[in-house]
């Protein structure tokens, strides 16, 4: 049994982590941490946890990390430096759900995240936690940088297409739609119900912080440097991401070849569901760790690929659990496919 802690327990990703960890057969929650929520009990903040867990949220300190083997850091970008550094210095494995350790270049980090990196010495030690594509590095990592929700929905469908020479690198259009929980719990005027309801809007066009992350790991895992545009949109829903990708295929590429590229990459992946010719729907992945992928090859040799995930699960807490499983030598699906895993474990 691994003793775990959740830093940022009161946030949206934090609550998802707690729920998943409570049903995990190999992990036990020992500590919950927060700042403004310190001193409160987690079930007071999230009444849905009543009769599931009763634990006080405490301030992070070196002494409070004693006896922990792995911590999840579920803090906004720019707020993870101290927590990750403290845990790493004490030999505790870290899975950071924020964006602070995904990029390798501190100058690029400053450009897109709009502030300096305060723990740049750890960038070379962090491993990108795209579970389906980086298992070997994740397994031996001390710091795992969980992928962003948008990049997860983009990289999973695009990597097999580039890696298998299905599409041309000179034109890739990516359009994504996200629920409002992706912005976290901070109170911002343009995220108020009256601003979001019955509305769809694009934002951070051309300068979204996930652009360099997509670029870096597309090239790392596919071996191809693709020219792409990425335009995120906000939907008037709480959770979920829906991504549509347009790309030109190479000559004589058939739908069978596209299907074969996906099958060869994900045939044994528990959390990738290949739906073509069906079109994925966001409602089918909510509250799950699945990524659903579909595609259609049109008459003008344009490939349209659609993927959808739950931004709080596969795009955050679920993939973090998947990475914990890899780091611990467990099957990736442990604690993620069945709420009865603990009972099943007892029977073995």
- Name the 3-class secondary structure at 347: helix
* Biggest alpha carbon–alpha carbon distance for the chain: 63
**291 classed as catalytic:** no
Strand order in the sheet with 272-274: 201-202, 228-234, 167-178, 241-249, 302-309, 291-297, 272-274
* Integer CA distances (angstroms), 223 to 104, 135, 261, 307, in order: 17, 17, 15, 21
* Integer CA distances (angstroms), 235 to 24, 66, 183, 196, in order: 32, 42, 12, 7
Quick check: 36 and 26 in contact, CB under 8 A? no
In the chain, count of helices (H) and strands (E)? 11, 14
* Integer CA distances (angstroms), 37 to 11, 33, 98, 114, 213, in order: 10, 8, 19, 26, 31
- Name the 3-class secondary structure at 253: coil
What are the helix (H) ranges across 232-317?
A: 255-266
Tokens at 263, concatenated: 């099958």
| Catalytic residue from among 97, 149, 166, 234 | 149
What region, left, alpha or beta, does residue 301 occupy, with left being phi > 0 and alpha being psi -120 to 50 degrees?
left
Residues with catalytic function: 149
């Amino acid at each position: 049994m691994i003793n775990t802690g959740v830093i940022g327990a009161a946030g949206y990703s934090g609550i998802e982590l707690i729920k998943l960890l409570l049903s995990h057969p190999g992990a036990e929650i020992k500590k919950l941490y927060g700042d403004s929520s310190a001193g409160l009990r987690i079930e007071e903040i999230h009444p849905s946890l009543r009769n599931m867990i009763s634990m006080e949220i405490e301030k992070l300190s070196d002494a409070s990390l004693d006896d922990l083997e792995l911590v999840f850091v579920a803090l906004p970008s720019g707020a993870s430096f101290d927590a990750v550094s403290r845990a790493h210095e004490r030999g505790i494995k870290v899975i950071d759900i924020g964006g602070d350790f995904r990029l390798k270049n501190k100058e690029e980090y400053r450009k897109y995240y709009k502030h300096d990196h305060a723990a740049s010495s750890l960038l070379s030690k962090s491993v990108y936690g795209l579970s389906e594509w980086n298992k070997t590095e994740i397994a031996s990592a001390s710091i795992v940088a969980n992928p962003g929700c948008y990049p997860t929905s983009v990289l999973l469908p695009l990597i097999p297409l580039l890696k298998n020479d299905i599409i041309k690198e000179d034109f890739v259009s990516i359009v994504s739609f996200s629920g409002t929980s992706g912005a976290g719990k901070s109170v911002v005027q343009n995220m108020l119900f009256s601003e979001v309801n019955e509305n769809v809007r694009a934002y951070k066009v051309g300068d979204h912080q996930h652009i360099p992350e997509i670029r870096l790991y597309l090239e790392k895992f596919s071996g191809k440097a693709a020219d792409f545009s990425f335009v995120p949109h906000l939907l008037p829903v709480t959770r979920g991401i829906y991504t549509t990708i347009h790309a030109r295929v190479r000559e004589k590429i058939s739908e069978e070849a596209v299907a074969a590229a996906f099958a060869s990459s994900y045939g044994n992946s528990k959390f990738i569901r290949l739906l073509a010719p069906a079109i994925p729907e966001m409602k089918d992945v909510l509250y799950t760790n699945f990524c659903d992928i579909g595609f259609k090859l049109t008459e003008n040799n344009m490939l349209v690929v659609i993927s959808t995930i739950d931004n709080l699960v596969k795009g955050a807490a679920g993939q973090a659990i998947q990475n914990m499983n890899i780091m611990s030598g467990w099957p990736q699906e442990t604690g993620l496919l069945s709420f009865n895993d603990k009972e099943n474990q007892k029977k073995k």
